[in-house]
Every structure is written in C-alpha cells, then in structure tokens.
Amino acid sequence: MATGFEHLLRELAPQVLGAMMRRFGDFAAAEDAVQEALLAAALQWPSDGVPDNPRGWLIHVAARRMTDQLRSDFARRQREAFLFLYDVGGEAVEPAAEEAEQDDTLILLFMCCHPALTTSSAIALTLRAIGGLGTGEIASAFLVPEATMAQRISRAKQSIRNSGVPFELPGEDERSARLTAVLHVLYLIFNEGHTSSNGAELHRTELCDEAIRLVRTLHGQLPREAEIAGLLALMLLTHARRDARTDAGGGLVPLAQQDRSRWDHDAIAEGIALISATLPRGAVGPYQLQAAIAAVHDEATSAEDTDWPQIHALYGVLMRLSDNPVIALNRAVATAMVHGPRAGLAELDALAADARLAGHHRLDAVRAHLLERAGEREAAIACYLAAAGRTASEPERNYLATQAARLGESQARPGATPMSIPTPPVRRHR
C-alpha cells in the first residue's frame, strides 16, 4: 500500500469488513472484497486524492466486488437472497449514510470470538481481521509455526461461515463468555505493536493506538468490568514509554537506560488512576496485576529506585493465575533483581524444558543478561549471539549483537586484538 495512506487504510479496514459482514455474512468472501477495495484505494487515492468519505468509498467498492462475485457464482451462493443490493440498472447502491458512518469493529471483534471456535483460533482470526497482522506475525505471537497458524485461520473462517450466527453483538450472558478471548486478542495486538516480531522498526504505533482505542471503547460500554480497566491501564502505562525505547537511530534502549523525562506522564497518570480505582473492587485478574507491575516501574524516578521486591511479589501472584511462559521469564528477571543472578538463572533452567519457549530468542536474551551479571562473559556472549540469530526484529537483533561485541571487547587483553563477533544471520518469517 502507498505509505501515505497506510495508517488510514489500516484503521478503516476492520470497519469496512464489519460493514461487509453485516450485509453478506460471509467472512472469507468479505475479507477478499475488502482487500481488493484497499488495493484499489492504494492505487487510486495518490492521484485522485482521498475522497470526502473514505470509509463510504471503501464500503461501496467492496460491495461492488462482492456483488460481482455473487453474479459469477449464482447457484452456490444463492444470489437471490441479496437482490435488495441492486437498483434497477443492476448497479450496487451507494451505502446509506448511517451505514457509511457506523463503526462495526466491536461487533466484528465479538463475531470473531465466536463460540464455534476454540479460543486460540478465535484470537488468531481476530488478529487477522481487526489487527491487520500477517500470518507470520500471528504465528510469532502464538509461538507456533506459520503453516500451523495458516491452517488455524482457514479453519476459523470456515467455522464462521458454517455457523449461521447473525452479525450482531451477542446477548449479555454470551458476551461475558467471549470477553476473555476479546481481551486476549487486544492484548496480543498491542504486544505486536509494542515490540514488532519482525522488520526494521521496534514498534508499530498504529497497532498500539488501535488496541488502546478498542479497549477504551469496551471500557466505555462495560465500565464495571475490572479486567477491561486493567488492560486499558496496562496498555497506557506501557505505551507511555514508547518515545524513550529507541535512540535517534531507531536502536533499542532497555528500560533501565531510558530517559524517563521522555515518558508520556499524562498517560502514566491516567493508567495509575485506572488501576488504583480498579484493584480494590474485588477479584483481581492477570491484566490488573500486569498493570500494577507496570505502574511500579513507571512510578520509579530512576531504574535504581524501582521497587523490585514489590514487582517480584506481584509476579508471584500472577504466576498462580496464568500459565504463561513469558510471564515466568519476566518473573526470573525480577528474581534476579531481588535475590541475585544465580537465583534468576535457576528459574530459567526450569523454564528451558517448556516446549513453548524452545528456540525463542527471549529465553536466550534473558539468560545472556543474567550470565553477564553473574560474571560469565563467554557464556553470555554465546547466549546474546544465539538470541540475535533467533529474532526477526532488526532493532532487537542489532541490540543483542552489540551486547555480544561489547563483552568481547571488554574481555580482550590490553593491547590485544578485540574478540571477533560474527554478525548473526537474519531470520525472516516465511
């Protein structure tokens, strides 16, 4: 897509897909039509200009693509059920004003988290439809092979098609049942935006912004749902650090070295107010606990002032609620900060047997950091390089390779040639 319109098209895509689902009810065909409309916009708008109503333009073009498909496949799709879409001359009618203005994203969100789907398939489908992520990016978020994720998404689309459930918000009871999957997918969209799994940029701000927008909308509709408030707080408190996470050249800056004056203190204040009002309500969920951990980090005036014992205790509670290996990985860091690097390394040894982390670069990256703190430089160099070779994110890879080079130079004898650190290969998603 043309770079100048990419953000607008990404924002409008789920809204247009929602409108197509409302009209036609066929997820796979609607997604194809929307992709064609987005391509048409990317080709036409640079020369013709952005139309006054870009969403209405995209809905109209996508609807024409859908009606063309219906004409060419009359028997299989029973086109007569959709004859109301045509005027006397057989042309697709302009969308009604209220349709062009209506944002069906939340309905689409709950539709993707359909009871006919497993939770993992629902999340994968929603990441594709709402977040605009590619199959490789979703696979990375799930720690599964890309081919496995492609099959999962294909089966999910077929299940949606076969379900026959109307495109509308579910009733209150069913909505509550689907909320866990809805929040999980928004969490994963935000995580991909916060630290992109591949490419030259560390973060994809548009994904973070869209995830925050959707969670804020959910919170406005369901203000008493504590985990929605917790997730919104977590996103605000984490996204507040975005400007300090990279240097002038786009390189990664770890939390301990960030210039905290560059943090968004308005977002921090909003996040802290949200989680402070939510925690006393009763049962505490994983998103509230993660938001509380983020708040402890953000309230510290410097890395040295961070209350690591409190963070470690919060991770202990979180571990009892969530069987997530990445949370366990973060807990190992907190353990090292409180009880020393050897204690953290012992927790990593236990985690190494978890198949969900096998070959994942974050395990090697954390091990490298703790080995360096423990004074084992050669082992740390090997782990930094292993981690660098396993990530498709260029900023992460460059940072990890730089750490290995730094250690190699520091352990060289005075006057000797510094240790040569090979550049790790780039791993790209298929």
pLDDT of residue 372: 97
3-state helix, strand, coil in the chain (%, to 5): 70, 0, 25
Quote the radius of gyration of the chain (alpha carbons, Å).
24
Cα torsion through 84, 90, 92, 94, rounded to 10: -90
pLDDT of residue 417: 42
Q: SS3 for 394? A: helix
Is the pLDDT assigned to residue 384 strictly greater than 90? Answer: yes
Question: Phi/psi of residue 143, each to 5°?
Answer: 60, 40
User: Which one-letter amino acid corresponds to residue 88?
Assistant: V
Res. 4 pLDDT band, cuts 50 70 90: low
pLDDT of residue 327: 94
Mean pLDDT of 341-348: 97
Q: Ranked by mean pLDDT, which of 117-131, 162-176, 194-208, 373-387 comes out on top?
A: 373-387
pLDDT of residue 185: 87
Domain edges within the chain:
1-103
Res. 89 pLDDT band, cuts 50 70 90: very low
Q: Is the pLDDT higher at 229 or at 31?
A: 229
Rounded Cα gap, residues 384 and 369, in angstroms: 8
* Predicted confidence (pLDDT) per residue in 116-134, tens digit: 788 778 888 888 888 777 7
Q: What percentage of the chain has pLDDT greater than the value 90?
A: 49
Rounded Cα gap, residues 31 and 376, in angstroms: 52
| Mean pLDDT of the chain, nearest integer | 85
Q: At what angle do helices 361-373 and 341-351 cross, to 10 degrees?
A: 160
pLDDT of residue 137: 81
* Predicted confidence (pLDDT) per residue in 262-283, tens digit: 999 999 999 999 999 999 987 8
Res. 115 pLDDT band, cuts 50 70 90: confident
CA-CA-CA-CA torsion sign (325, 426, 194, 365): positive
Site of tokens 């925050």: 212
